[in-house]
Amino acid sequence: MPETHYRICPLCEACCGLEVKTDGPKVVAIRGADNDVFSHGYLCPKGVSLKDLHEDPDRLRRPLIKRDGVFVEASWDEAFAEIERRLLPIRREHGPDSVALTIGNPSAHKVSLLAYIPRLVKALATGNFFSASTLDQMPKQLSAGLMFGHWLSIPLPDIERCDYLLILGANPMISNGSLWTVPDYRGKAKALRARGGRIVVVDPRRSETAAAADEHLAIRPGGDALLLAGIAHTLFAEDLVKLGRLQAHVNGLEEARAALQPFAPELTADGCGIPADTQRRLARELAAAPHAAVYGRIGTCTTRFGTVNSWLVDLINVLTGNLDREGGAMFAKAAAFAPNTQGRPGSGKGVSTGRRRSRVSGAPEVFGELPITVMAEEMETPGPGQVKALIAIASNPVLSAPGGPRIAKALEGLDFMLSLDIYVNETSRHADVILPGLSPLEDLHFDVAFPQLSHRNHARISGPVFDAAPGTPQEWQTLLRLCALLEGRGLDVDVQQLDDEAIAADVQRFAGDQAPAVLAALRPWRGPERLIDLQLRMGPYGDQFGRRPEGLNLAKVKAASTVEGGGIDLGALTPRIPELLRTPSGRIELAPPPILADLAAVKAQPAPAFSLIGRRDTRSGNSWMHNLPVLAKGPERCTLLVNPGDAERLGLAEFARVRSSAGALVARVERSADMSPGVVSLPHGWGHGLDGVQLGVARERPGVNMNTLLDDAARDPLSGNAVLSGVAVEIEPA
C-alpha cells in the first residue's frame, strides 16, 4: 500500500520538512513537504539521499566486535559484554580521565543522541571530552557566552525583513546555513535583493553565495579580524554609533572604543586586502541601512582569531543599532530545550572557561571541552592521566580533524575503543566494538538545537517512517545501557527503568514539589518523547501543565506535524533583550576582557606563497555521505581549485603536489577564476582509501584528506578551535 509520511531531514542545519512516499518496505520518492510551516517545500539533493542511506548495504545493522583484527557481527548482549569486559577495568585501574569521549556532528541532529549524551558525560566524568565544536563553532559560542551570558544565545540575520546583509566566511547557498537555520537561503536572498536590499559577501573565493550577491570582496584568508576591526573603528571615528534601544542594556562601550582605536582602515587594509575606502563605505552602509545584519561563519571561526571575529560581528550589530531589532541580527525563541528561556530572565551566572587545562599542552577547557586537536597527544603521551580508551559517537576525526594520520596511529595504540557509528569508516575501523544507530527513516526526529538558531520560530516533530528490525535499540537506549555499565549496574538492566529514573531527576530539578504531578502528566510518553513533552510544556509557548491550556504540548505538536500540517509556526523573531540575557551584570558585555586582550594581538601577517582554504559542495556532508550513489555520481569533487593565472605560472597540468609544514599530498587540479591569486582550495572529508574502510561506493573515488596538510597545534587560544583555513602551502606540478 503506498503511503505518504512527513519527515524532518536530519542531514544539515536547514531542518527541511520532507514528504517520503513508501510502498511497503520501499522508499518510492522523497520531496520537499509543501505544507511544512518552516521550509515550505524546499529540499536539496541530500534530502533525497535518505533513500540511499536507508538502503545502503554498507550501513551497519548489527553490532561488530573485532576478533583477531577482523570485525565479526555480534548480538547486542555480546557487544555490551565485550564493553564491560574490556572498558571497565581500564577505567577502574587508570581513573575516569583515562576514557576519552568524542562527539561528532550528526549528534547535533538526533534527539536520541543530543538529549542523552549529557547523561553519558555525567556517568563517564572524564576530563577528556572532545567534540566537533572545536573544529567549528566554539569561537561563536564563546563570544556569545561572554557577551550575552549563554553560549546558545547566538544572534542570526532576520533575513525576511533585512535589507542589508554582510556575510563573511559563509556559503549558505551550498551549506544551507549554519548557526542560522534558514532553508532556501537562495530564495530568501533573491527576495531581499528584489525588495531593493543589498548583500555583500566577504570570501577569498568567489563562492556561490558571493556570485549571487551584489558585491564580492576577496579578502586575504585570515584577514577578517583586521577588516571587522577597521569597520568597527570607523563606526566610532565617524560618530556612526547609535545603540538605540540597547543603550540602557550595554556595558563596556568606552572600553571597546579604546581597544579599536589602533585599527584605522588605512592601517588594516594591507593585512586584509580590503582597501580603506571600502572598509569605511561598509561601515557607513551598515550604519545607514534601515535594517542590516552582519553574519560570519566557518571562514571566520576556523582561524587564529575566531573568537575575536565572532565578537566583532556582534559588536558591529550592536553599534549600528541592529542587534535584537526587526530585520537585524536577532535571537530565536525556541519552544523547547532553550537555556535562554529557562531560569530567571535578565541575568545569570554568565560563562567561564579555563577551569582546568589539558595535561600535555595546557589548553584551557571551554564549556567542559578540550580542543579535539589535543586528543592524539593525550593518547600518545605516557604518564598519569593518559588516555587509554575512547568512546567515539558519530565522530570521524581521522578525516575531519587536522593531523588525521597522527590520530589514526594514536587510536591504534589505545587499549580499547568503542564507536557508536553507522559505518566501518576511517575512524570506526580502529574500534574494538561498533554499536550502530538506526537509519534516519527508522528514527523519531525532533530538533533540540536548531530551533534556537532558526530565522523564524516553529515547533515540529516527525515520527519513524519504518519500524526498526526487532531487537534493535534506538541510540538513546544504547546510551542509557552504557551509562548503567559505567555506573557499575552490570549488563542485566531494564532500560525503561533507567529512563524513568533519569526523567524523575530532571523533573525534580525543574518542578520541585510539583514533581509528582508533572511526572503523572508525562505518563503517556517514554524516552525522548517524554523529555520533549516536558520541555515543550514548560517552555515559553507551553501549556505549563494546564496553567495555560491553549499552550503547546507534545500531543499538539504531533497532531500538527503531518503531511497535511507540517508543524506549528510560532511567528517571526521578536526582540528579546533584556529578557534573554544571562550575564551577571544583566547587560550585554561589549568588551569582554579576554577578547580585548586577544584583539591587541591582531596584526598583519606576511602573505605566504599560497594560502589553503576549504570548501563544501552540495552533494557532500562533511566526511560521511560519499557512499550514497545519488550523491556520489557526477564530476570529481575532491579537486584543488587554483586561479588560472597561478596554474599557468606554475605550469600545473592534471595534478599538483601540495606541501605544508604538516604534510603533503597530490591532488587533481581544477582551474577556477573564482579563486583569488595566491589562494587554493580543497574540500574536507575526503580520503576514503585507507585500509579497512568498508565503504564500497566512496572507495571508488576516495579523494585526498586535506586535513593532513593542517597543523594540529594551530588553534584560536581563547576557544581552542582548530585553524582550518588560511594555511601556508607550496604548490608544484605532480
Ligand X SMILES: Nc1nc2c(c(=O)[nH]1)N[C@H]1C(S)=C(S)[C@@H](COP(=O)(O)OP(=O)(O)OC[C@H]3O[C@@H](n4cnc5c(=O)[nH]c(N)nc54)[C@H](O)[C@@H]3O)O[C@H]1N2
Give contact residues for ligand X (rule: CB under 6 A): 12, 104-106, 110, 132, 135-136, 168-172, 174-176, 178, 202-205, 207, 219, 221-222, 224, 297-300, 303, 393-397, 400, 420-423, 425, 427, 437, 613-618, 620-624, 684-685, 706-707, 724-726
**Does 333 participate in binding ligand SF4 (rule CB under 6 A)?**
no
- Please state the closest distance from residue 568 (CB atom) to ligand X, in A: 26
CB 272 within 8 A of CB 189: no
Counting every residue written for the chain, the total comes to 734
Closest to 369 in 3D by CA, of 693, 184, 573, 100: 100
Name the binder of 11 from ligand SF4, Mo ion, ligand X, none, CB < 5-8 A by kind. ligand SF4
Nearer to ligand SF4, 36 or 543 (CB): 36
Whole-number minimum distance, CB 54 to ligand SF4, in Å?
14
Instruction: Give the integer Cα–Cα distance in Å for 433 and 424.
Output: 11
Return the number of the residue (183 or 328) whose C-beta is nearest ligand SF4: 183
The residues pairing with 8 across neighbouring beta strands, listed in sequence order, are: 17
Residue 720 binds which one of Mo ion, ligand SF4, ligand X, none, with CB within 5 to 8 A depending on kind? Answer: none
Q: Which is nearer to Mo ion, 427 or 561 (CB)?
A: 427
Decide which of ligand SF4, Mo ion, ligand X, none touches 637; Cβ closer than 5 to 8 Å per partner kind: none
**16: partner contacted, choices ligand X, Mo ion, ligand SF4, none (Cβ within 5-8 A by kind):** ligand SF4
Nearer to ligand X, 391 or 652 (CB): 391
DSSP annotation of 490: -
154 dihedral zone (left: phi>0; alpha: psi -120 to 50; beta): beta
209 interacts with ligand SF4 by CB under 6 A: no
From Mo ion, ligand SF4, ligand X, none, which one binds at residue 205 (CB under 5 to 8 Å depending on kind)? ligand X
Given ligand SF4, ligand X, Mo ion, none, residue 394, with its beta carbon under 5 to 8 Å by kind, binds ligand X
Q: At a CB cut-off of 8 Å and minimum separation 6, what does 422 contact?
A: 59, 60, 436, 437
From candidates 5, 6, 7, 9, binder to ligand SF4 by CB under 6 A: 9
> Minimal distance in Å, beta carbon 140 to ligand SF4?
20
Residue 425 contact partner, candidates Mo ion, ligand X, ligand SF4, none, CB within 5 to 8 A by sort of partner = ligand X
Q: How far is the CB of 268 from ligand X (least distance, A)?
A: 14
d(CA 151, CA 453): 12
d(CA 314, CA 309): 9
Of 20 and 43, the one with the shorter C-beta distance to ligand SF4 is 43
Using rule CB under 6 A, residue 293 touches ligand SF4: no
Q: How far apart are the first and last CA of the chain?
A: 56
Closer to ligand X by CB, 395 or 719: give it: 395
Kindly determine how many residues on this chain lie close enough to bind ligand SF4 according to the rule CB under 6 A.
Answer: 12
Three-state SS string over 616-677 comes to CCCCCCCCCCCCCHHHHCCCCCCEEEECHHHHHHHCCCCEEEEECCCCEEEEEEEECCCECC
According to CB under 6 A, which one of 5, 7, 11, 202 is a site residue for ligand SF4?
11
The verdict on 631 binding ligand SF4 (CB under 6 A) reads no
Cα 344 to Cα 122: distance, rounded to the nearest angstrom: 25
Query: 3-class DSSP state for residue 248?
Result: helix
d(CA 529, CA 689): 40
Please identify which residue in 12, 108, 351, 647 interacts with ligand SF4, judged by CB under 6 A: 12
Angle between helices 475-486 and 76-94 in degrees, nearest 10: 40
Residue with the shortest CB distance to ligand SF4: 47
Question: What residues contact 333, with CB distance under 8 A and at least 6 apart?
Answer: 341, 457, 540, 570, 573, 574, 576
Applying CB under 6 A, does 229 fall inside the site for ligand SF4? no
Question: Which of Mo ion, ligand SF4, ligand X, none is residue 203 near (CB under 5 to 8 Å by kind)?
Answer: ligand X
Minimum distance from residue 60 beta carbon to ligand SF4 (Å): 22
Q: In what order do the strands lie in the sheet with 164-168?
A: 215-217, 198-202, 164-168, 292-296
The nearer residue to ligand X, 110 or 325, going by C-beta atoms, is 110
From CA 261, how far away is CA 259, in angstroms rounded? 6
Residues linked to residue 215 through DSSP beta bridges, in sequence order: 200
Q: How far is the CB of 36 from ligand X (least distance, A)?
A: 19
Q: Which stretch binds ligand SF4 (CB under 6 A): 9-17, 261-269, 342-350, 455-463?
A: 9-17
Between helix 138-148 and helix 306-319 the angle, nearest 10°, is 40
CB 218 within 8 A of CB 206: yes
Q: Does 322 bind ligand SF4 (CB under 6 A)?
A: no
What are residue 157's DSSP bridge partners?
Answer: 329
CB of 457 to ligand SF4, least distance (A): 18
Which of residues 5, 6, 7, 15 is near ligand SF4 by CB under 6 A? 15
Q: Residue 612 forms beta bridges with which residues? A: 680, 727
Residues 17 to 76 in contact with ligand SF4, rule: CB under 6 A: 43-44, 46-47
Residues of this chain, 158-197, that bind ligand SF4 according to CB under 6 A: 176, 183
DSSP string, 521-582: HTTT--HHHHHHHHHHHHSTTB-GGGTSTTSB-HHHHHHH-STTT--EEEEE----TTTT--
Query: 694 near 436, Cβ under 8 Å?
Result: no
- Interaction site with Mo ion (CB under 5 A): 136
To the nearest whole angstrom, how small is the minimum distance from the Cβ of residue 132 to Mo ion? 6
- Tell me which residues touch ligand SF4 (CB under 6 A): 9, 11-12, 14-16, 43-44, 46-47, 176, 183
